[in-house]
Amino acid sequence: MGHRHHRALTARLVFLPQPLLVCGRVSRVLPRRGLMRLSRYFLPILRETPKEAEIVSHRLMLRAGMIRQEAAGIYAWLPLGLKVLNKITDIIREEQNRAGAVELLMPTIQPAELWRESGRYDAYGKEMLRISDRHEREMLFGPTNEEMVTEIFRAYVKSYKDLPLNLYHLQWKFRDEIRPRFGTMRSREFLMKDAYSFDLDQAGARHAYNRMFVAYLRTFARMGLKAIPMRADTGPIGGDLSHEFIILADTGESEVFCHQDYLGFAVPPADTDFEDAAGLQGLVDHWTSRYAATSEMHDAAAFEAVDAASRVSARGIEVGHIFYFGTKYSAPMGATVTGPDGQERAVHMGSYGIGPSRLAAALIEAGHDDDGIIWPDEIAPFHVMLLDLKTGDGATGAACDTLYKALTLRGLDVLHDDRDERAGAKFATADLIGIPWQVLVGPKGLASGKVELKRRATGERELLSIEEAVARIAG
């Protein structure tokens, strides 16, 4: 291992950006951005809808140049789509970290051996993509990571003093669905945040479960979504520790029933104490106090007991799923710790999933109109789009440059449409890709020193000076 390698590595490190701070808008945005001129960007928008796309999110993701299908249920994420995916994972990471989970990264390819230990290698069926390497060793493309994370845990953790522990990662998974559909909503390859908790006993596991429960409430709320926890089937383990987080969307895949009150429940604040077991339990109790069920778990009689005015029956999309499964993997795989009493025992585990690639589609299902996508501010690939309505005019270009500098200095992500296109085409593009703020810079307005600020979600427009527009957007 040479000297040479070492030196090359050092030289390269010099050019790496400073480590990003975890919090704050500016630190997240600044190091990544170059000058975003649409004429130099890669945004292959489609004017017509490809015929294979059935649901609105799939149509819009293709039209907005976010994704490209490479095979059934397998997609390339183009620049705009990737920016959205990254915004989603940024929020997920912040909330996982806040709740005390620790990030690592496990591989996509796993040895079959691990899955034989848990007994799932044969049980999983054809959904698992099985492959073999050049030595004919049986491998698989991971559909989930319980086995592997349990293997990692058992290799190092031996004492109850190291608990509780929650390890998570964001990694691509593959499930060879019989029938992938709905674009990235139900793809074969998909990104998943999966967290795994390890505790000494069931009480500890419940606290771990509650931490994730509250983290999920915050995560989805930050994305502008109303996610409602609904009791899910716990399978052979039983108990009440499994919830699906469902967002309501008219075009949702499944029918859901819940109490109106959920739509108004307060989301736990950022300074929630995740170590306070009793406090968390109170929050979870509150958020499970009303009726809420997917069609599989629906109890018509119980729903009828809710007063008629408060009954909400709607369509929903599952965006997260958490569950406790006890010693299902730790016992067969020998993931044990020694307790305070000197006894060795299998740890109690839970797992907690969110699908960011599915969320990207779900967010569009929940936010769009006839003209295109309507991104929530926290998720939008760019915060602001500058529309130079007369490129080559000089004055409009100069005004756009001024706006660009002022907005980026305030930590905002700006896309400048400097293409040599007519105004109408720029309006259509901006509406299609759903940037929350549009600044229309045209000769008419500039004549009186004004630009027009348009809010994508509401269509509201205001004539403002450049300074006023910047102030309004930066809020």
Partner RNA sequence: CGGGGCAUAGCGCAGCCCGGUAGCGCAUCUGCUUUGGGAGCAGAGGGUCGCAGGUUCGAAUCCUGCUGCCCCGACCA
Residues that bind RNA (CB under 7 A): 45-52, 54, 63, 69, 71-73, 127, 175, 177-182, 186-188, 190, 192, 244, 253-254, 318, 320-321, 353, 355, 357-358, 371, 389-390, 392, 421-425, 427-429, 431-432, 440-446, 452, 454, 461
Q: How far is the CB of 187 from RNA (least distance, A)?
A: 5
Among residues 30 and 74, whose Cβ is nearest to RNA? 74
Among residues 154 and 454, whose Cβ is nearest to RNA? 454
Among residues 173 and 206, whose Cβ is nearest to RNA? 173
Q: How far is the CB of 110 from RNA (least distance, A)?
A: 17
Q: How far is the CB of 160 from RNA (least distance, A)?
A: 30
**Interatomic CA distance for residues 213 and 203, integer angstroms:** 15
Q: How far is the CB of 456 from RNA (least distance, A)?
A: 9
Q: How far is the CB of 425 from RNA (least distance, A)?
A: 4
Among residues 159 and 254, whose Cβ is nearest to RNA? 254
Q: What is the 3-state secondary structure (H, E, C) of the chain?
A: CCHHHHHHHHHHHHCCCCCCCCCCHHHHHHHHCCCCEHHHCCCCCCCCCCCCCCCHHHHHHHHCCCEEEEECCEEEECHHHHHHHHHHHHHHHHHHHHCCCEECCCCCEEEHHHHHHHCHHHHCHHHCEEEECCCCCEEEECCCCHHHHHHHHHHHCCEHHHCCEEEEEEEEEECCCCCCECHHHECCEEEEEEEEEEECCHHHHHHHHHHHHHHHHHHHHHCCCCEEEEECCCHHHCCCCEEEEEEECCCCCEEEEEEHHHHHCCCCCCCCCCCCHHHHHHHHHHHCCCCEEEHHHCCHHHHHHCCHHHEEEEEEEEEEEEEEEECCCHHHHCCEEECCCCCEEECEEEEEEECHHHHHHHHHHHCEECCEECCCCCCCCCCEEEEECCCCCCHHHHHHHHHHHHHHHCCCCEEEECCCCCHHHHHHHHHHHCCCEEEEECHHHHHCCCEEEEECCCCCEEEECHHHHHHHHHC
Q: How far is the CB of 225 from RNA (least distance, A)?
A: 15
**Interatomic CA distance for residues 26 and 413, integer angstroms:** 10
**Interatomic CA distance for residues 306 and 236, integer angstroms:** 29
- Beta-sheet pairing, 109-111 with 138-141: antiparallel
Q: Looking up tokens 């100069």, which residue turns up?
A: 398
Among residues 36 and 185, whose Cβ is nearest to RNA? 185
Among residues 261 and 371, whose Cβ is nearest to RNA? 371
Q: How far is the CB of 76 from RNA (least distance, A)?
A: 14
Q: How far is the CB of 195 from RNA (least distance, A)?
A: 13
Among residues 395 and 474, whose Cβ is nearest to RNA? 395
Per-residue exposure over 12-33, b if at least 16 CB sit within 10 Å of its own CB, e if not? eeeeeeeeeeeeeeeebbeeee
Q: How far is the CB of 71 from RNA (least distance, A)?
A: 4
Q: How far is the CB of 337 from RNA (least distance, A)?
A: 28
Among residues 169 and 454, whose Cβ is nearest to RNA? 454
Q: How far is the CB of 82 from RNA (least distance, A)?
A: 17
Among residues 48 and 122, whose Cβ is nearest to RNA? 48
Among residues 10 and 458, whose Cβ is nearest to RNA? 458
Among residues 56 and 163, whose Cβ is nearest to RNA? 56
Tokens for 159? Answer: 């004492």
